[in-house]
Amino acid sequence: MAKIQYLIPVMAFAAVLFLVGFLHFRIQFAVAIYRLTFHPLARYPGPWYAAISEISNIYSCLNGERHLQFKSWHDRYGSVVRYAPNRLSFCDKDAIQDIYGVRSNTQKSRVYGGFNHIFKASASLTCIDRSQHSFKRKILNVALQPIKLKNFEKHVLRNLKIFIDNVLTDASGAEWSRPRNLSEIIQFLFTDIMGDMMFSQNWNVQTSDSKRWILDILILGTSGLHAAGHMILALKLNLDMFLVPKTMAATRRFLAIARSQCEEHIRKDRTYGEHADLFSLFIQASNINDPKSDRQSYAFTMDDLVAETGILIIAGADTTATTVTATLYYLLQNPEILQQVQSEVDEAFSRIKKLGLEFETSEGLSSCQLLRACTEETMRLSPPVAGLLPREVLQGGLLIANRWSVPAGVDVGVPVYAIHHNEKYWESPHHFDPMRWIERYRKDCRHTFMPFGVGRTGCVGKQLAYNEISLVLARILWTYDLEMMPSSQSSGSGFGGNFNGSWGRGNKDEFQTRDFFTSSHHGPIVRFRKRLSSAAISPDG
Ligand code: HEM
């Protein structure tokens, strides 16, 4: 009897649970049928499971294969693909301006809200509202004016010197250094450059392993926030801590560092005049220190500053590191081109020396046309932001490429990796061919080259990125010969094709990245040897 009394509430609870589950299933079933039949996007092609639920879309944000998934779906379904119930991807050149152009009837998608939810404020990269975005963008434009960029080069050179000095330190007199994981050491270098450029702080990631956990946080946090952005309801209910606990914990840790660096900077009142770091320039540009300023509407709050600097570190360090690592990989795969680039750099350095100019400035390297072409070709083949930058269609809808009429509220975008590998727009799209950027007669459609995004929300750090990349590549190639270790070629090693055998990774010549909004990668394993020519011209004397 006592047992039955105990069983009744359990059975009642089970019945309620069953009823709720059953109702939920019926609602989901009805929603799925609606999405496949009467939904305004029902006529667009794409996998049925992507049309009925966000699950595959969210999963692809976390598995690193998102860029390849877009490519494979466009190969299969054509120029437009419905990749989630309310989202369309356009692999079409005319779609680029319609979606991202200055006059396009779009704003950043609510997906960017994932970042804002954690950062408690929006940064220019994550700001959805168009007028707020343009005010934040103005501040960045002032801080990153071309005239100020030269000042940042000393931050690059300071850390580059540590890199150059360290690579051979353990060679103990041997001709070649010990084998090094190129992805890793270049990422250490750019993280230090970013910390220095942002806060005039030496994070010592290159020389000590005590802060290297920052790097794991960056990639884990970015992918998690990107995925979380697709789960708006879960974010509103603060369920993120349960759904992606590791990511959220990592992101909060990163946020705490960004906040403490900002607070310390303000406490120490670091303003360096013409030697200002990025943070001081934000403060100057936003007049935060000047309560009497009539430009108070430009002021950044502390939360804004933390969000802006945190996002800039993510946006500026990973992307440049990926480009440099991948460019070196492609050069190692193409020894003839590597030799030509080294000769070009040697020539530039000795000319600079003869003219008595400053030894290393990105300006001095502007003659290195092939080096620049290799960088462009690398960003075409292995774009650091390889996925799709989503934009929401605003009231009034949007006509894309004069063919596709998209209603308000739908997310649209162009998948970067997929359009860079589209045979309609690029001759031999899978082949590393830097000459396509030099020979004008080529038929490639350069309008579809978009590693920095496009239009009013395109990368504000583009020129700074080119300067950093050319300085770092030129100095490494001038100082060292590099050799790829045989272990780098083995299958499953994460680069050079055959990335665990998954789709789209078969091209042995391609530097493989994992798309987590920005990119993660591994290797190649290389060793370094000091070049004789570098000894002939000393950078310091
Ligand atoms: C090779 C290097 C780089 C690549 C490939 C790259 C790529 C991109 C892309 C694709 C976007 C558009 C993102 C979107 O629409 O969601 C973007 C935006 C942005 N990038 Fe970069 N980036 C690079 C380097 C940098 C650097 C060095 C900085 C600054 C230190 C920077 C700062 C920003 C900022 C602030 C935005 C947001 C712009 C806005 O919305 O107004 N980036 N970048």
Supply the residue whose CA is at minimum distance from atom 16 of ligand 1.
389
- CA dist 381 and 322 (Å) reads 12
Question: What residue's CA is closest to ligand 1, atom 1?
Answer: 320
Give residue 360's pLDDT.
66
Band (pLDDT 50/70/90 cuts) for residue 271 is: low
CB of 125 closer than 6 A to ligand 1? yes
Q: What's the confidence (pLDDT) of residue 201?
A: 82
Eight-class DSSP state of 171: G
Q: What is the pLDDT of residue 500?
A: 55
pLDDT tens string 357-376: 665 677 778 889 999 999 99
If one compares 111 and 14, the residue with the highest pLDDT of the two is: 111
**Mean of per-residue pLDDT scores for the chain:** 85
Whether the pLDDT of residue 83 is over 50: the answer is yes
List, for residues 169-217, the tens digit of each pLDDT value. 665 677 888 899 999 999 999 999 998 988 888 888 898 887 787 787 7
Close Cβ partners of 24 (under 8 Å, ≥ 6 residues apart): none
Helix, strand, or coil (residue 65):
strand
User: Cα separation of 104 and 352, whole Å?
Assistant: 45
Query: Percentage of residues in the chain with pLDDT exceeding 70?
Result: 89
Distance 343 CA to ligand 1 centre (A): 31
Query: In angstroms, what is the span from residue 457 Cα to ligand 1's centroid?
Result: 9
**What are 121-150's pLDDT values in tens digits?**
888 999 999 988 988 888 888 888 877 787
The residue whose CA is least distant from atom 14 of ligand 1 is: 389
Angle at 203 between CA 197 and CA 208, to 5 degrees: 145
Reply yes or no on whether the pLDDT at 257 is more than 70: yes
Shortest-distance atom of ligand 1 to CA 468: 27
Q: Is the CB of 416 under 6 A from ligand 1?
A: no
Listed range (263-267, 386-390, 506-510, 534-538) with the worst mean pLDDT: 534-538
Beta-sheet pairing, 87-90 with 411-413: parallel
The CA distance from 39 to 47, in Å, is: 15
Q: Any idea what DSSP says for residue 177?
A: P
Per-residue pLDDT band at 437 (split at 50, 70, 90): very high
**DSSP line for 374-409:** HHHHHHHHS-SS-SB--EEE-TT-EEETTTEEE-TT
* Residue 168 predicted with pLDDT over 90: no
Cβ(384) to ligand 1 under 6 A?
A: yes
The atom number, within ligand 1, closest to the CA of 458 reads: 12
Residue 23 Cα to chain centre, angstroms = 42
Ligand 1 pocket residue status of 453, Cβ below 6 Å: yes
Q: Using the CB atoms, write b or e for 303-341: b if 16+ within 10 Å.
A: ebbbbbbbbbbbbbbbbbbbbbbbbbbbbbbbeebbebb
* Residue 386 Cβ < 6 Å to ligand 1: no
Spacing, Cα 73 to ligand 1 middle (Å): 26
Find out whether the beta carbon of 477 lies less than 6 Å from any atom of ligand 1: no
Q: Write the pLDDT tens digit of every residue in 285-316.
A: 776 444 454 544 446 788 888 888 888 888 88
For residues 100-112, one letter each, b for 16 or more C-beta atoms within 10 angstroms of the residue's C-beta and e for the rest, the string is beeebbbbbbbbb
Residue 28 has pLDDT above 70, yes or no: yes
pLDDT in tens, 378-409: 999 999 999 999 999 999 999 999 999 999 99
Residue 316 Cβ contacting ligand 1 at under 6 Å: yes
- Three-state SS at 460: coil
* Residue 530 pLDDT exceeds 60: yes
Protein residue with its CA nearest to atom 8 in ligand 1: 452
Whether 143 lines ligand 1, by a CB cut-off of 6 Å, is: no
**CB neighbourhood size of 5 (10 A):** 8
ipTM over 0.95: yes
Using most ligand atoms within 8 A of CB, pick from 459, 511, 518 the residue to mutate for ligand 1. 459
Going by pLDDT thresholds of 50, 70 and 90, the confidence category of residue 3 is low
Which segments of 238-301 does DSSP mark as H helices, in order? 240-243, 245-267, 278-286
Residue-level pLDDT at 358: 60
pLDDT at 382: 96
Centroid of ligand 1 to alpha carbon of 10 (angstroms): 55
Q: Is the CB of 137 under 6 A from ligand 1?
A: yes
Is ligand 1 within 6 A of the CB of residue 321? no
Distance of CA 371 to the CA centre of its chain: 21
Judged by DSSP in three states, 24 sits in helix
pLDDT in tens, 462-500: 999 999 999 999 999 999 999 998 776 654 444 544 455
Q: What is the mean pLDDT of residues 247-272?
A: 79
Instruction: Establish whether residue 314 lines the binding site of ligand 1, counting it when its CB lies within 6 angstroms of any ligand atom.
Output: no
Give tens-digit pLDDT for 319-337.
999 999 999 999 999 999 9
